[in-house]
Structure 1
Amino acid sequence: MTGRSTGKSNDKLLLHVCCGPCSIYPLELLNLRFKTTCYFYNPNIYPESEYRRRFETMKIYADYAGIKLEYNKAGDNFNDFIFAISENKAKRCEICYMIRLDMTAQKAAMEGYDYYSTTLLYSIYMDHQKVKSIGESLGELHGVDFYYSDFREGWRKGVSSSKEMGMYRQNYCGCIYSLEDRAERLKMKEQKKSGQGGK
């Protein structure tokens, strides 16, 4: 299902949430149409302290917004995630989308939701079309409609709102490889600064 409509319905939607800041704008839209439940399932997040920090931020926001939040324990399926991407690091992001959306679609189907969706559609850093394609395919596989909307249009609004609320805003995507990539970028940046400073 694609698009936006007005008026509240009785349809239930399970929203996969990756973090608090990315949830603000999607929930603002979805709550106009659906009875929305959030599902925090992100076995990719490393280390565990980071997982807990993102989860606590999401929990605080869900409580504030009056949204039901379901979740898995920290560390659940982390080893499975690492194993899945270790043999194909070049496609790690695609595999990561698939793992998280597959679990969400299964849960939505088993628990009688009409639709499922994800806050990954909000991030300007994700492969948007890949997320959409995987979401639709898994919806067909598990028998639950994937609700698509380009939440990126509310990117600036969500960023502004999260800062106003004092939310924790992470500086890397989540997995150990994205953390290493960030460390490498910072190292190169420092080396460049040092080189320029010595001239």
Structure 2
Amino acid sequence: MIQLLVIAKAPVPGRVKTRLCPPCTPRTAAVIAAAALADTLAAAGAVPAVRRVLVLDGDHPAPPGWACVPQRGDGLGQRLAHAFADTALPGVPSLLIGMDTPQVTPALLEAAGHMLGENRSVIGPADDGGWWALGLTDPADAAALSPVVMSTPETGRDTRAALRGRGADPRTLARLRDVDVAADALAVAAACPPGSRFAEAVARHLTDAAAGV
């Protein structure tokens, strides 16, 4: 069995999903971000795990039964590396996801966990060249993430190369689209399962016409 980590930023107006503005306002972008986080936590909460941890930048309540640890580090690469190190459980692989793929399902996460149980590392590629999930059997391998420049079209490629340099060549998970701009939010909302808070928030606060698509 695995440990599940969700790395997230508290949904505070002006600090999250700023690339949705415009057409969103900082307030509505934060509402959409909060819905994305809620859906992500719900999906992760439905998957069997040794422990679930919210790795948080800011102040936001963790679901009942979840641990919460603060993010630390100067850049996202360092924050990711510390997330694995600060939550390490001896002998338990960790699967980390972000809050930008609210269409993720428990079935996808369970499949990722099974693959991680058979491999030293796994990675879920994102359509923009980054990644939405990273699983490591050995938390020490996360040190390879510190120098990787995140949020670029080369992030996925560079993450793979960094892990290969440690002998931890990752197996590939399903590809997902993450939410950066308004067009992403609309596409991801359409892919969300029924009852999605994210899809409801996008429908309420973001329209095709406003997004210019």
TM range (shorter): 0.3 to 0.5
Decide which structure has greater strand share: 2
Higher helix share: 1
TM-score normalised by L of structure 1: 0.40
- TM-score for both structures, normalised by structure 2: 0.38
The structure number with the bigger radius of gyration is: 1
Q: Which has the higher contact order (CA 8 A, sep 6+)?
A: 1
